[in-house]
Structure 1
Amino acid sequence: MTVDLLDWKRTSAYTLAMKQITTPENLAEPFKPRLPWLTGDLQTVRNLLVGRPADLSAWPCRRVELDLDDGTGDHLLGSFHPATPASGPLAVLIHGLTGSQDSHYLRATAGFLLTQGFAVLRLNLRGAGPGRALARQQYHAGRSADIDGALRAFQALEPKAFETGLFLVGFSLGANVLLKFLAEEGSEWSVTAAATVSAPIDLRAGQQRLMKPRNRVYHYWLLRNMKRELLSSPGGLDGHRLQVLESVRDIYDFDDRIVAPANGFDGALDYYTRCSAVVFLPSIKTPTLLVQAVDDPWIPVESYRCVDWQAYPNLRLLQADGGGHVGFHAAKALVPWHDQKISAFFKQLRG
């Protein structure tokens, strides 16, 4: 029986894997894919095909509603797992496009960090997942102020959770949001460390890659889910917006005709230009690990290769030859490779 078929509830195997703490010296160990997930595409779709959500029932959890206090009346929804022991630092996890607090990758990271003594907040972006009914507006790749608002609201609810360190992890679109937040507010929050996985740091390049013929299945799947999210808006859509949505045929059109006008951008290109994380990298003072795969089918490797990473001493790029998009299913391990590396990076900085 391969590790893909193991039940995550079998604590003897799962706990053993979780306790394989990666040391700082192993941070740069190369990624080796798990059979049969040998290509970037297979790594990307593995969870969708055979993945089982990590079982988090061993850790207490409570629902938290976070008032954004920005005049919209919107709230963000999160699931908070206190640390065991209670003195552990706080890790806030931020999902990607059309994801939520219950995305496979987010639950896997939450489970691993909980075994390392972290408290974990699985945060839904504005209008995402089970928090859809709490927000009339919708998240986008540049809505970094929502992270600031969520942290302020959560600190008011759980002030002790921030006493031993604040760590932030973002995935895909949520990783772009996180990098922008770090540039704008990271120092104010005294974030101990941060990590991103498969961040589309050049939004225009990522959009163009997704619309290539080889990615038409991904493109169709994402666009369908984006439309479903919008259609589930509290109170529904007015006739004009519904008509526009029905006529949208691709992601660029969605960004240009839906996202941009709803958020004060002058079209999709203005949205991409003003929100791409690559613009904000020079301003990030927080120690940050960026995990990215060369064979990511959604994000062109050129987005990362055109950056002079040596010019940014606070940023560490960990670029693997394989891993796909938020995949990194490694050989001989239940714990995703990116989680091992994030844990090692955070371990260096916990003090």
Structure 2
Amino acid sequence: MTGADDAAAFVPRAPWWGGDLQTLRNLLAGIRPDLSPWPAERIFVRLPDGDRLPVLLHQGEGAGRPTVVVIHGLTGCEDSTYVKATARWFLVRGWPVLRVNLRGAGPAGPLCRLGAYHAGRSEDLRALFAVLRWQRPELVARGVLPVGFSLGGNMLLKFLAENDFPVAVLAAAAVSAPLDLAAAQACLMLPRNAAYQRYILHHMRRELQASAQEAPAAVRRRALAAGTVRAFDELWTAPRSGFADAEAYYRACSAGPLLPEIRVPTLAIHAADDPWIPIEAYRAVDWAGNPALTPLLPASGGHVGFHAADRPEPWHDRMIEAFFLERAGLEGRLRRPAA
């Protein structure tokens, strides 16, 4: 089902041509996915060290479905447009959906004193699933289908490669994941990406200012004064997470070298014209060497864009659901929700 033919079938929607417009379309068009038809239940997941993750559960209307777990990217949260769009796509079709706030993100900021998420903090995903197994066993009894975006996609791929799952992971998908973190940072430093750099850094500063993380005031001030994302990682992310420097953080947490270890059916979606994350890291992967991996690498789509000409919902959401139905062995076994 999912492969070169599907990638070639992606046609950008006018007038959102090229990687930059695909990336910026949600922002420029003011897209606000409506989830009001599916009331959400707030669940607080206590991690082993005492920090808490607030997550949102939407119950689907289809019977016997595993839970789709949506994981945001850098400076994202449960309310990110792409997170809500993916949630809506699956909810319309009857799937239960869990929108996750990673450690220190969005509403998790005041609840996490001991640290924050980063590209390799896969132990928090493991802890999340372990806690849900006893706190809300009905949510994971039929297995989970995690979807990770950008930095959250890299974290998810690392988690999958470690093959230590507290619950059944039936299949997974990563969209626009930075398989080589150092290369992604080098790309972000290019002059053409100066506006992106300022945007991301602005939101990283806001996230830190809203955080309850315990740190000396001078350390916080230096991080907030960082002029680039890499400098922020050097001054804050890396040392706060136990890495010697930003380079050590990028080297230890990049998912690319770990892909051969993944055994769960996994879909990797990435656009060749992503302005933030170079396609070269994807082209360097021996996809044929691991039958669990399915790459979907269209020529266009931008960064977490994939706005197609044929219908308004993001193309990647359609590809992910089709992949889950096929590779998780669910096609033909699920009752559709009532119209």
How many residue pairs get aligned? The number is 327
CA contact (8 A) 2:126 2:165 kept: no
Hey, what's the Cα distance between the residues in 2 that align with 1:203 and 1:249? Answer: 18
Query: Could you tell me how far 1:304 is from its partner in structure 2?
Result: 0.7
CA contact (8 A) 1:92 1:167 kept: yes
Hey, what's the Cα distance between the residues in 2 that align with 1:298 and 1:67? Answer: 33
CA contact (8 A) 2:143 2:167 kept: no
Equivalent position of 1:74 in the other structure: 51
Hey, what's the Cα distance between the residues in 2 that align with 1:180 and 1:236? Answer: 27
Hey, what's the Cα distance between the residues in 2 that align with 1:54 and 1:292? Answer: 22
Hey, what's the Cα distance between the residues in 1 that align with 2:138 and 2:188? Answer: 42
Task: Give the gaps of 5 or more residues in structure 1.
Answer: 1-22
Equivalent position of 2:145 in the other structure: 167
Q: Summarize the alignment of residues 273-292 of structure 1 with structure 2, pairs less than 5 Å apart.
A: 273-292=251-270
Q: Which amino acid aligns with 1:125?
A: L
CA contact (8 A) 2:58 2:97 kept: yes
Counterpart among 302, 310, 315 of residue 337 in structure 1:
315
Query: Could you tell me how far 1:154 is from its partner in structure 2?
Result: 2.0
Q: Which moved more, 1:215-224 or 1:247-256?
A: 247-256
Q: Which amino acid aligns with 1:306?
A: A
Query: Could you tell me how far 1:183 is from its partner in structure 2?
Result: 1.0
Hey, what's the Cα distance between the residues in 1 that align with 2:224 and 2:81? Answer: 29
Q: Percent identity?
A: 47
Hey, what's the Cα distance between the residues in 1 that align with 2:42 and 2:255? Answer: 30
Q: Secondary structure of 1:280's match?
A: helix
Query: Could you tell me how far 1:318 is from its partner in structure 2?
Result: 0.2
What RMSD over aligned residues (CA atoms) do the two structures have, in Å? 1.7
Q: Which amino acid aligns with 1:62?
A: E
CA contact (8 A) 2:163 2:263 kept: no
Query: Could you tell me how far 1:232 is from its partner in structure 2?
Result: 1.3
Aligned in 2, Cα 1:243/1:59: closer, same or farther, shift over 3 Å? closer
Query: Is 1:102 aligned with 2:74?
Result: no
Query: Could you tell me how far 1:155 is from its partner in structure 2?
Result: 2.3
Equivalent position of 1:135 in the other structure: 112
Equivalent position of 1:245 in the other structure: 223
TM-score (normalizing by structure 1): 0.89
Q: Secondary structure of 1:320's match?
A: coil
Equivalent position of 2:23 in the other structure: 44
Hey, what's the Cα distance between the residues in 1 that align with 2:252 and 2:212? Answer: 28
Aligned in 2, Cα 1:188/1:283: closer, same or farther, shift over 3 Å? farther
Q: Which amino acid aligns with 1:56?
A: L
Query: Could you tell me how far 1:164 is from its partner in structure 2?
Result: 2.3
CA contact (8 A) 1:329 1:337 kept: yes
TM-score (normalizing by structure 2): 0.92
Q: Summarize the alignment of residues 186-335 of structure 1 with structure 2, pairs less than 5 Å apart.
A: 189-234=167-212, 238-335=216-313
Query: Could you tell me how far 1:257 is from its partner in structure 2?
Result: 1.4
Aligned in 2, Cα 1:39/1:235: closer, same or farther, shift over 3 Å? closer
Query: Could you tell me how far 1:190 is from its partner in structure 2?
Result: 2.7
Query: Is 1:35 aligned with 2:14?
Result: yes
Query: Is 1:158 aligned with 2:123?
Result: no
Aligned in 2, Cα 1:317/1:63: closer, same or farther, shift over 3 Å? same
